[in-house]
């Protein structure tokens, strides 16, 4: 596990209400972790990795009966630290071992394992009860063995329709980050819109700076 610490910082984006974003940026509230039984990567604070557009689409089209009246995107600077990265072979093997342990325990107790399910009107497994249980079982097992806990969980998800006929890409492919240790989040920001570059220059008028497009 010597390579499980991810070097450097990444940008994460989270779709939410505008007032929630503003309160987080100013520090008047703290981000609350999600702990739903169908969370894709277990309990924690969720971000789309380097994907502002997907976060904004989520805010505009929230799942289920959730309503976001003023869609906005929260930006975050994130240090993944000790990461359960499910793009890494070692982490995938650990996750499979967790599944086997959970499956054997369920069989011995006569209980059924949770099941990943399709949401109404979707061809994607949006309700990831099994995956969530397997990941949480891995965390619990590490805690029981007094092993170093994971600060974050990261995975790629192949989602949506084919980008073009017979494509190996889907139009909603993304990387998602679940932050377990709040110290991974180094700061929040309000993302700014891109300006035209190099076709922009700085003008000064009455001691104020303006960006003017050519």
Q: Rounded mean pLDDT of 180-194?
A: 95
Domain boundaries, the chain: 5-85+150-213
Cα separations (Å) of 113 from 63, 94, 150?
Answer: 25, 18, 24
pLDDT of residue 108: 94
Percent of the chain's residues with pLDDT above 90 = 79
Four-CA torsion 74, 77, 81, 83, nearest 10 degrees = 40
pLDDT of residue 6: 82
* Maximum separation of any 2 CA atoms in the chain, in Å: 77
Q: Could you tell me the pTM of the whole model?
A: 0.88
Q: Rounded mean pLDDT of 186-203?
A: 79
Four-CA torsion 116, 157, 132, 53, nearest 10 degrees = -110
Cα separation, 150 vs 154, whole angstroms: 11
């Amino acid at each position: 596990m010597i390579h499980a610490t991810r070097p450097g910082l990444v940008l994460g984006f989270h779709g939410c209400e505008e007032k929630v974003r503003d309160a987080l940026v100013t520090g008047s509230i703290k981000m609350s972790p999600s702990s739903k039984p169908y969370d894709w990567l277990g309990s924690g604070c969720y971000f789309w990795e380097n994907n502002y557009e997907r976060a904004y689409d989520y805010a505009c089209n929230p799942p289920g009966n959730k309503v976001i009246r003023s869609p906005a995107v929260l930006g975050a600077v994130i240090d993944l630290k000790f990461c359960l990265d499910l793009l890494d072979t070692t982490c995938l093997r650990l996750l499979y071992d967790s599944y086997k342990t959970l499956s054997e325990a369920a069989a011995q107790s006569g209980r059924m394992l949770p099941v990943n399910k399709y949401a109404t009107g979707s061809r994607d497994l949006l309700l990831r009860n099994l995956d969530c249980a397997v990941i949480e079982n891995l965390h619990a097992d590490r805690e029981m063995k007094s092993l170093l806990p994971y600060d974050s969980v990261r995975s790629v998800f192949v989602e949506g329709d084919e980008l073009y006929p017979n494509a190996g890409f889907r139009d909603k492919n993304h990387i998602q980050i679940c932050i377990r240790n709040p110290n991974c989040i180094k700061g929040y920001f309000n993302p700014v819109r891109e300006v035209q570059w190099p076709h922009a220059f700085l003008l000064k008028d009455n001691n104020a700076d303006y960006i003017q497009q050519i």
